């Protein structure tokens, strides 16, 4: 907090959101293990920001159930076991599948063309091996957002977005397996949407989400997230 304010962060979106993103990554990277205590004021000085945006970021993490508030005592990183991840992605797959199925029934020609364009952007970025992770993640996000908008179910899309915070970009964008699986999933999904086949769209989307789950689980295993559990 000596010289220039934001020290180790970029400066594109709002500050609380960037802090929340950083904390989410630290938690899922194993840097902050479940049970770790977080002191807001200390975090603020460590990150080089003031307490206000840190407070807000911790509130956001609390809404994701990634930290829990201990009144007058700070925050703790919430527990997360294999069962939790399984539950989370089971719901995620179900809801995302439902959204895809609804989109299949509600999509007009223009909407379909728009989705195809977004999918093409994603595919193009996937093909580039040295591509920007952030650009790829952004394109993927826009694709899903457009699909959800087409489905016309705001609250379902909201729930999906909540749970999606458990799968940050850098845990999948650089995985070769995910890249190949994704182009295939998008292809099958778009074919189903074009045909208005809700059931196939649902199935393709569910499979896509479960691919993401497998990636996250593999990552968590790799970093030893579960610690000394009974394996």
Q: Which of residues 21-60 bind DNA (CB under 7 A)?
A: 39-42, 49-53, 55-56
Determine how many CB atoms are found less than 10 A away from the CB of residue 77.
19
**Counting contacts by CB under 8 A, is residue 84 touching its own copies?**
yes
**Counting contacts by CB under 8 A, is residue 88 touching its own copies?**
yes
Listed in sequence order, the residues at least 6 apart from 176 whose beta carbon sits closer than 8 Å to its beta carbon are none
Listed in sequence order, the residues at least 6 apart from 126 whose beta carbon sits closer than 8 Å to its beta carbon are 136, 179, 182, 183
**Counting contacts by CB under 8 A, is residue 91 touching its own copies?**
yes
**Counting contacts by CB under 7 A, is residue 99 touching DNA?**
no
Closer Cβ to its own copies, 159 or 194, answer by number = 159
Closer Cβ to DNA, 64 or 184, answer by number = 64
Provide the mask over 47-66, with x wherever binding to its own copies is found by CB under 8 A and - wherever it is not.
-----x--xx--xx--xxx-
Map residue 196 onto helix, strand or coil. coil
Q: How far is CA 117 from CA 114, 123, 178, in A?
A: 5, 10, 20
Q: How far is the CB of 55 from DNA (least distance, A)?
A: 7
Q: How far is CA 21 from CA 133, 170, 191, in A?
A: 15, 12, 34
**Counting contacts by CB under 7 A, is residue 66 touching DNA?**
no
CA angle 112–118–121, rounded 5-degree value: 145
Q: Which of residues 202-231 bind DNA (CB under 7 A)?
A: none
Binding site for its own copies (CB under 8 A): 14, 16, 52, 55-56, 59-60, 63-65, 71, 78-79, 83-84, 87-88, 91, 95, 152-156, 158-159, 162-163
């Amino acid at each position: 907090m000596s010289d220039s304010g934001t020290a180790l962060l970029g400066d594109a979106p709002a500050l609380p959101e960037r802090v929340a993103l950083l904390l989410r990554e630290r938690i899922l990277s194993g840097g902050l293990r479940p049970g770790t205590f977080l002191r807001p004021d200390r975090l603020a000085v460590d990150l080089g920001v003031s307490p206000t945006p840190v407070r807000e970021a911790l509130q956001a993490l609390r809404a994701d159930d990634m930290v829990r508030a201990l009144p007058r005592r700070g925050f703790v990183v919430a527990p997360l076991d294999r069962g939790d991840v399984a539950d989370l992605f089971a719901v995620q797959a179900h809801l995302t599948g439902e959204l895809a199925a609804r989109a299949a029934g509600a999509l007009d020609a223009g909407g379909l063309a728009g989705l195809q364009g977004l999918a093409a952007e994603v595919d193009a970025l996937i093909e580039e091996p040295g591509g920007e992770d952030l650009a790829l993640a952004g394109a993927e996000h826009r694709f899903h957002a457009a699909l959800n908008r087409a489905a016309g179910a705001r609250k379902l899309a909201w729930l999906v977005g909540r749970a999606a915070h458990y799968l940050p970009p850098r845990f999948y964008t650089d995985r070769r397996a995910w890249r190949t699986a994704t182009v295939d999933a998008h292809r099958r999904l778009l074919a189903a949407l074009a045909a208005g086949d809700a059931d196939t769209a649902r199935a393709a989307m569910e499979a896509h989400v479960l691919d993401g789950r497998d990636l996250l689980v593999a990552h968590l295993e790799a970093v030893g997230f579960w610690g000394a559990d009974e394996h």
